[in-house]
Amino acid sequence: MISASEKISVLTCADKVRWDGFYNRLPAVLRDINYSFDYNFLFEKNGDGEIRLFVFQKDSDIYFYPFLVRTVFVNNEKTEYKDIETVYGYTGPITTSNDPRFISEADKEFCNYCVSEKIITEFIRFNPLLQNQKVLKLNSFYNVDRSA
């Protein structure tokens, strides 16, 4: 459960002003075009999926993660499940904090979001210039009960 000082936002293409607001709060070194609303929206317009921006805030720190959401099809049949993928380019989650507790809390809330949205796979193109692969615990795996 999140505390009063924590806030989660999940933005869509209808939230350009809010997306731009979060983007502009990032330090200049993190404000790469790959994270901008306009760049991400190009991929939605192209039919690559629906854009989302997951933001976790605590005090002045921000965890900022844009991605595309797509429906999973099995045998050409639409399922209730979704997958996510970052847009082409250097992306993945970024954060204004180096605090492992903040990053862990943000990652936990993002995982909760994925479970609630029935997101079963994720493909991330990390930014080698920002070295943001270090943001995530790459040894985190989640088991899915496939017996149901």
pLDDT band at 62 (very low <50, low <70, confident <90, very high): very high
Strands, E, within 88-147: which ranges?
94-95, 119-123
Q: Is residue 138 part of a domain?
A: no
Q: Is residue 100 part of a domain?
A: yes
Euclidean distance between CA atoms 105 and 97, whole angstroms: 12
Q: What is the pTM of this model?
A: 0.88
Q: Which domain holds residue 12?
A: 6-129
Domains: count for the chain: 1
Residue at token pair 């999973």: 72
Euclidean distance between CA atoms 114 and 82, whole angstroms: 9
pLDDT at residue number 3: 64
Q: What's 13's domain CATH number?
A: 3.40.630
Q: Is residue 139 part of a domain?
A: no
Q: Is residue 54 part of a domain?
A: yes
Pair 92, 127: CB distance under 8 Å: yes
Calculate the dihedral angle through the C-alpha atoms of 70, 44, 35, 78, rounding to the nearest 10 degrees: 0
